[in-house]
Structure 1
Amino acid sequence: MEKKRVSFKRTLTLSHVILFGLAYMTPMVVFGTYGVMAELTKGIVPVAYIIALTAMLFTAYSYGEMVKAYPVSGSAYTYTRKSISPQLGFLIGWSVLLDYLFLPMVIWLIGSVYLNAVFPSVPSWVWIVAFIVLTTTINLIGTKVMKNVNLLMMAFQLLVLFLFLVLCSVNIIQGTGVGTLFSMEPFMSGDASFSLLLAGASVACYSFLGFDAVSTLSEETINPKKTIPKAILLITFIGGGIFIFSSYFLYLVFPHYTEFQNIDSAAFEIARLIGGNLFSALFLAGLIIAQFASGLTAQTSAARLMLAMGRDSVLPKKLFGYIHPASHTPVFNLFFIGCIALLALTFDITTSTSFINFGAFATFIFVNLSVIAHYYVKGKKRGGKHFVLYLLLPAIGASLDIWLFLNLDKNALILGSLWAAIGFIYLLFLTKFFKKQPPEINFEEAEEAV
């Protein structure tokens, strides 16, 4: 019997969608990567975030335009498939899979680094394995994370972030760090070259992952063709503002980035400096809870995506399309993602976040190109303002994304290229050397199951 499609009620307003998007982005992620970025940029982290925000705003604009054209699930995959070609669409879907598969690993790696900073006698691998086992167990028994919990989690994160900035301000006024709340030092340094800033911006883009997630709420949003594009731009701008503002104060209170005991857990050292053991415990709790909830959702999403790809025969159906009859969960997929996450034992934060960004930048580039293909080339909207809206702006967005893509960590570029090559070879196999169309991935089924 064919499954009856359930229609959603359109109840979400602009503010609801923005809150969901910010919760998905996880505001405290700015602390998770601060030390790594400070080392890459010679301390000038706010500038790296400004560069990243600029690129993301152009890309957010393109997402908004493509949501108007295709207000359905699948995001960059759907846009590329329908606007450019099914073959390129498949490869973008393959890149999306890269993000989904490795995002839980990065989340758990960051959490383990901060726990190791508090409990140095416990090796990082213990925390990584603990995250994997606990999260996989919860997902295996079929417990779902309610979307409303994300909003509560965001509220707690914003509270910790607010307290962090207040304590930074108090300490700065009392003479800690640069000793003033207004300084150009976080934006200027004789040691930071533009290439280093680009490398930092490439890592900074990890913090923006998820700004486009609200495109999946189209069927539940009032006037989605107007609300969703506006929400995507506002989420990107607000998130970027939080990251720039936070990194600015982190520099002011502790400008000596070379003096961190552990680059990967630098923000925890600053939390202990400005608030003592009590606040550092609260800070750690906020970060770990955010990482755990994020990892739980990321693993769930990845498993459901693989389930959809298995059912569509994009991946081997017997393995990846299987649902356990008792728990009603894709058990093999959850175990597979848990095994992939063990790579965190050999990766550092710089390489792992850049590896995720390899797939992200690939999708961002083609979202911008999809605007050009759909509106300017196929739609022939070329006169007057259309030249700016459908050629110039997305072309700038694609160029910025390519620029940042080329400045990713070298190891990430090598690993990402290997992943893309595997995807291309697999595409040749599925299409019998392009003699038939590639199978279509049902992203909607994956999202409904999360």
Structure 2
Amino acid sequence: MATEKRPGAQAGSPLRSLFRTKPVDQILSEGGHGQGGELKRSMSLLQLTLFSVGATLGTGIFFVLGQAVPVAGPAVVLGFVLAAVTALFSALSYAELAGTIPVSGSSYSYTYATMGELVAWVCGWCLLLEYAVSVSAVASSWGGYLNEFFHSAFGFSIPPAISHSPGDSGGMVNLPAVVIVMLAMLLLLRGTSESATANTIMVMLKIAVLAFFCFVAFTAFHTGNFSDFAPMGWAGISAAGSKVFFSYIGFDAASTAGEEAKNPRRDLPLAILLSLVIVTVVYVLVGIAAVGVMAWGDFTSTTSLADVLNLATGDSRWAALILSFGVVISMGTVVLTVLYGQTRILFAMSRDGLIPKIFQRVSRTQVPVANTIMVSAFVAILAAVVPLGQLAEATSIGTLFAFALVNLGVIVLRRTRPEMPRSFRTPLFPVTPLLGVAFCLYLVYGLDTITWVVFLIWTAAGLAAYFAYGRRHSNLARRTGPPSAPPAKELG
């Protein structure tokens, strides 16, 4: 077999050592192994696919039409397709690397193998912000939607003081947020197979609720609402595509389960691509059904699927009850899958020595118990007492940054390891990954200033953490002999 090019692996200048790459063969040989045990390979193709669907198909579809329809009109359905095509470029790159390097670290591990330790650290560090804040934001919002469900079903609500975060409608502590995170944690602690089964059931319920919405909406469908299909032309379709793109984030969730998939080389690429297809079909059908009921000119920024359903049914209480149940379930699947993904990325970073060993310790039940408990406790506290506000939206740059690195990683690995077996190859290489990078840069360019401020502050904090701990404890540095002083004794 050809020798892998490892431009950063050998001793050299301190600057060069920052970009030492971890050999792919070494990453693969360590797959599944943690301190004290191994992760259990138990996830099927269906479970992996619905893991990504569960992470992607969140609350966005219930509310994003209010933002997208006014700028595109009925052509919002093409906006969903455009966003799907944009996501597809990165999804194809994820599919290739997931099938080639099927490990828990997802984009962090892919970057470590292709662009070096420092870039991988920044990628993993950004994902920690994106995962932690996004799942905390979803959990903190869960109480409000749970209240809507309780009000529709039973006519009572949880007091604001214990159902909202501080600074939000008189809230003091968000107990429902703690409850949903703790429930997800208990599922994860029971085992990956049990968590995947629970997620499969919840995702099926979520899709059933959206199918119910479409069925009801099509009974009040007006074809005349599509007569002026694209009133704002291509500019409106493009604007709608940008607004709905972030409803596609999450398709990469299956890649974090690389060490717990039964047949990772075959199933991971399929799961990533199938999940994108399923989500796109659901989004397009919901968009057609919604505009068929409510004329596009009547949509406002606050319009939700509940408003459309009320118009279709004449403010029917039972229809609103079913839809609110769907929102509650949707948020539950997002919390479960994103929490899982974060623990597995931390597991991979710990195995590389960049963070303490406790995050890679595997129990007799083949679960990283301490990792799961610590991450869940942090997320629960963040969701319960910290007003996240606009910070939640600012995490999107971390996702786009990871997407761009994965696209670049495909190009680098094709050059450094052309002979390596690949269960899936990105078509039209290198055009496809280059387009993936271009679309990520385009979307990053359009993000708000607060997003860049948060990103730069978080990246600076991450660099400080890397030089204070990660670089000195890196397992790769120990093997290759860094030019600096020997690493300090490992902390457990």
Q: Which of the pair has more CA radius of gyration?
A: 2
Equivalent in the alignment of 2:459? 420
Q: What secondary structure sits across from 2:163 in the alignment?
A: helix
1:292, distance to aligned residue in structure 2 (A): 2.6
Between 119-128 and 296-305, the greater mean CA deviation after superposition? 119-128
Equivalent in the alignment of 1:294? 334
- Choose which of 230, 235, 252 in structure 2 pairs with 1:212: 252
Change (3 A) 1:139 1:58: closer
- Choose which of 384, 396, 400 in structure 1 pairs with 2:439: 400
Q: Is the 8 A contact 2:51 2:200 kept in 1?
A: yes
Q: Distance in 1 between matches of 2:127 and 2:416?
A: 25
Equivalent in the alignment of 1:366? 405
The gaps in structure 1 that reach 5 residues or longer are 173-178, 441-450
Q: Distance in 1 between matches of 2:466 and 2:286?
A: 43
Equivalent in the alignment of 2:99? 68
Change (3 A) 1:246 1:228: same
Equivalent in the alignment of 1:443? none
Q: Is the 8 A contact 1:371 1:390 kept in 2?
A: no
RMSD: 4.1
What letter matches 2:254 in structure 1?
V
Q: What secondary structure sits across from 2:219 in the alignment?
A: helix
Change (3 A) 1:138 1:68: closer
1:167, distance to aligned residue in structure 2 (A): 1.0
Q: What secondary structure sits across from 1:369 in the alignment?
A: helix
Q: Is the 8 A contact 2:56 2:249 kept in 1?
A: yes
Q: Distance in 2 between matches of 1:344 and 1:57?
A: 35
Q: Is the 8 A contact 1:63 1:212 kept in 2?
A: yes
1:373, distance to aligned residue in structure 2 (A): 0.9
1:429, distance to aligned residue in structure 2 (A): 3.5
- Choose which of 108, 130, 133 in structure 1 pairs with 2:139: 108
Q: What secondary structure sits across from 2:231 in the alignment?
A: coil
Q: Is the 8 A contact 1:31 1:267 kept in 2?
A: yes
1:107, distance to aligned residue in structure 2 (A): 1.7
Query: When the two structures are superposed, what TM-score results if normalisation uses the length of structure 1?
Result: 0.77
1:122, distance to aligned residue in structure 2 (A): 5.7
- The within-5 A match list for 1:273-422 is 273-275=311-313, 276-299=316-339, 301-302=341-342, 305-306=345-346, 309=349, 314-315=354-355, 329=370, 331-342=373-384, 345-347=387-389, 352=392, 354-376=393-415, 379=418, 389-422=428-461
| Cα-to-partner distance string for 1:32-85 (whole Å, 9 max, x where unaligned) | 433344466677543432221111111111112212331222111111111122
Change (3 A) 1:2 1:270: closer
Equivalent in the alignment of 2:468? 429
Q: What secondary structure sits across from 1:212 in the alignment?
A: helix
- Choose which of 119, 123, 130 in structure 2 pairs with 1:99: 130
- The yes-or-no answer on 1:230 pairing with 2:270 is yes
- Sequence identity (%): 21
Equivalent in the alignment of 1:31? 62
Change (3 A) 1:121 1:310: same
Equivalent in the alignment of 2:25? none
Q: Distance in 2 between matches of 1:369 and 1:355?
A: 23
1:315, distance to aligned residue in structure 2 (A): 4.4
1:329, distance to aligned residue in structure 2 (A): 4.6
Q: Distance in 1 between matches of 2:140 and 2:70?
A: 18
Change (3 A) 1:189 1:306: same
| Cα-to-partner distance string for 1:266-294 (whole Å, 9 max, x where unaligned) | 22222222231101101101211221343
Q: Is the 8 A contact 2:142 2:177 kept in 1?
A: no
Q: Distance in 1 between matches of 2:355 and 2:40?
A: 28
- Choose which of 146, 163, 167 in structure 2 pairs with 1:126: 163
Equivalent in the alignment of 2:226? 183
Query: When the two structures are superposed, what TM-score results if normalisation uses the length of structure 2?
Result: 0.71
Change (3 A) 1:439 1:426: farther
1:370, distance to aligned residue in structure 2 (A): 0.6
Change (3 A) 1:168 1:304: same
Q: Is the 8 A contact 2:93 2:410 kept in 1?
A: yes
- The within-5 A match list for 1:43-62 is 45-62=76-93
Q: Distance in 2 between matches of 1:230 and 1:387?
A: 12
Q: Distance in 2 between matches of 1:439 and 1:123?
A: 53
State the number of aligned residues: 417
Q: Distance in 2 between matches of 1:199 and 1:124?
A: 38
Change (3 A) 1:343 1:209: farther
- The yes-or-no answer on 1:149 pairing with 2:181 is no
Change (3 A) 1:155 1:137: closer
Structure in which a larger fraction of residues adopt helix: 1
Q: Distance in 1 between matches of 2:471 and 2:354?
A: 13
Q: Distance in 2 between matches of 1:171 and 1:389?
A: 43
Q: Is the 8 A contact 2:99 2:265 kept in 1?
A: yes
Q: Is the 8 A contact 1:201 1:404 kept in 2?
A: no
Q: Distance in 2 between matches of 1:130 and 1:80?
A: 38
- The yes-or-no answer on 1:89 pairing with 2:99 is no
Change (3 A) 1:347 1:7: closer
Q: Distance in 1 between matches of 2:407 and 2:357?
A: 32
Change (3 A) 1:117 1:135: closer
Q: What secondary structure sits across from 1:345 in the alignment?
A: coil
Equivalent in the alignment of 1:448? none
Q: Is the 8 A contact 1:372 1:391 kept in 2?
A: yes
